[in-house]
Amino acid sequence: MLAVHDQREAAVPVRLTGAEALALRVTSLLLRPHPVARPAGVADVVEWFGAMQAQDVASGEWSLGVRLPGRTHADVRAALERREALRTWPMRGTVHLVPARDAHWMLAVTGVRTLAGAAARRAQLGLTEADADRAADVLGDALAGGGRLTRAECLATLGAAGLDTSGQRGYHLLWYASQRGVTCIAPHVGKEQTFALLDEWVPDPHRPDRDEALGLLALRYVRSHGPVTAHDLARWTGLTVTDARRGIAAAGDALAPVEVDGTAALVDAALLDAPREPVDDLHTLPGFDEYLLGFKDRTLMLDPAHANAVVPGNNGVFQSTVVRGGRVVGTWKRTIGKSAVTVTLQPLVPFDAALRSRVESALAGYARYLGLSLRL
């Protein structure tokens, strides 16, 4: 594996400008036609990415919908009920959509580092490791046999077993059970989050060895976000830079070296055949989309002067964005009613009549996805 890595590093990298790198990155993110990827459904999109941040369920579902034109919210929900993907905490302590068969090994490879650091948080909450392990056992017993409990029912079950779930304790215990691979987050029932047993939800998990798993993580991240660096991969997965580089080595010639304004990076080798010219396309993306969440350095996509408008107060809560030609040009908020979705726009650059019309058209697509009319 290391020999392959050395061979690739010795290759002459393709030199890209920032604008060319942005064009390829938007293609990687499946927001433009890709030379290889042709996702036919939810499972294909999630497998392409490997993991898609989805702590907000509506945002995660629209991240899928925007990449599957013509699919509705009901279509996405039905695919998740078919277990084409599931939500859990695979890395960085954050909820992601992941391919169902990959949840076990992702928790083992990337989630273990988060789990190892949980002792300090338990001490702050007045919980012990024994409390957390007991909570996982209690939930495992309660969900056995195909059971599915809402969040409130899970907390009530823990309380009945004598475990204190007040404050943030309940959230930590639910997180711990999923982080250990006992439970996973099943699709909502109405507006309620539900949990199921991971082993029952995924009875035939894929179990690659560690090097293969690292290679899969590297391949999927680079192909869905590239151009990116090894440090980008380490940040996204929560792995060490050493493990990130090991994964890149394992991915072999599927990844190709490039330079972005002189900085060494990697892309999916197939992407080198994709157009690099600027494209004046327009997207209305959810706040927690991989378009921004998948990167620490967002300057290719986001003017630093607009960062506070997208993440007010730098509090980790991302606004939904209007993206033109790969760059954020506005934010939007929505309120869902019985028959209509009301959207409020906040331009970050001047919107002329033509641009406003294009934004309205894109948001009308979002309304159709919801099965509602649009009020702008």
Give me the DSSP letters along 304-331.
Answer: GGGHHHHSGGG-S-PPEEEEETTEEEEE
Residues 304, 362, single domain; the answer is yes
* Model confidence pLDDT, tens digit, residues 230-260: 999 999 999 999 999 999 999 999 999 999 9
Do 71 and 191 fall into the same domain? yes
- 97 plus 134 within the same structural domain: yes
Strand order in the sheet with 149-150: 52-53, 94-98, 86-91, 183-189, 192-197, 149-150
Q: Which of 181, 201, 221 is the last residue of a domain?
A: 201
- Same domain, yes or no: 251 and 369: no
Specify the pTM: 0.93
Confidence of residue 10 (pLDDT cuts 50, 70, 90): low
Range(s) of the domain holding residue 125: 42-201
Question: Does one domain contain both 55 and 167?
Answer: yes
Do 187 and 58 belong to one domain? yes
Asked whether residue 66 carries a pLDDT value surpassing 60, the answer given is: yes
Residues 308 and 366 in one domain: yes
Residue type, 107: L
Give the residue from 234, 242, 297 showing the smallest Cα distance to 92: 234
Q: Is residue 230 part of a domain?
A: yes
> Domain count of the chain?
3
What are the residues whose beta carbons fall under 8 Å from the beta carbon of 31, sequence distance 6 or more? Answer: 66, 67, 281, 283, 291, 323
Q: Is the pLDDT of residue 39 over 80?
A: yes
Read off the pLDDT of each residue in 324-352 and give the average, rounded to a whole number.
97
How is residue 107 annotated by DSSP? Answer: I
- HEC readout, 159-220: HHCCCCCCCCHHHHHHHHHHHCCCEEEEEEECCEEEEEEHHHHCCCCCCCCHHHHHHHHHHH
Query: Where residue 1 falls among pLDDT bands split at 50, 70, 90?
Result: very low
Residues 6+ apart with CB under 8 A from 34: 27, 28, 271, 274
Cα Rg of the chain (Å, integer): 21
The answer as to whether 121 is a domain residue is: yes
Q: Let me know whether 48 and 29 are in one domain.
A: no
pLDDT tens sequence across 285-337:
999 999 999 999 999 999 999 999 999 988 889 999 999 999 999 999 999 99
Q: Per the domain annotation, does 277 fall within a domain?
A: no
Structure confidence by residue, pLDDT tens digits, 125-149: 999 999 999 999 999 999 999 989 9
Mean pLDDT value across the chain: 94
Let me know whether 153 and 217 are in one domain. Answer: no
Beta bridge partners of 97: 52, 87
Residue 247 belongs to some domain of the structure? yes
Final residue of a structural domain among 164, 183, 201 = 201
User: Are 217 and 135 found together in one domain?
Assistant: no
- Residue in 341, 234, 342, 103 with CA at minimum distance from that of residue 95: 103
Question: Is position 269 within any domain?
Answer: no
